[in-house]
Amino acid sequence: MSEILIRLQAVTKTYTRGGEALRVLDDLDLEMESGTFFALMGPSGSGKTTLLNMLGGLDRPDSGAIVIAGEDITGFDNAELAQWRAANVGFVFQGFNLIPVLTARENVELPLLLAPLSRKQRREKAEYALELVGLSDRMKHRPAQLSGGQEQRVAIARAIVTDPTLILADEPTGDLDRSSAAAVLKLLGTLNSELGKTILMVTHDPHAAECAQTIVHLDKGQLGSIERRVPGAV
Sheet holding 166-170, edge to edge: 89-93, 166-170, 198-202, 37-41, 214-219, 222-228
If you average pLDDT over every residue of the chain, what do you get? Answer: 91
Residues in the chain: 234
> Is the CATH number 3.40.50.300 carried by domain 36-57+87-228?
yes
Interior angle at CA 42, CA 3 and CA 180, nearest 5: 85
Largest Cα separation within the chain, whole Å, is 53
pLDDT of residue 175: 84
d(CA 234, CA 41): 17
d(CA 227, CA 202): 15
Q: Where are the domains of the chain?
A: 36-57+87-228
Residue 234: pLDDT band by 50, 70, 90 thresholds? Answer: very low
pLDDT of residue 231: 56
What pLDDT, in 10s, does the model give residues 70-96?
A: 999 998 999 999 989 988 999 998 888
pLDDT of residue 47: 87
d(CA 234, CA 226): 17
pLDDT of residue 20: 86
Above 90 in pLDDT, residue 230? no
Phi, psi for residue 129 in degrees, rounded to 5: -65, -40
Above 50 in pLDDT, residue 141? yes
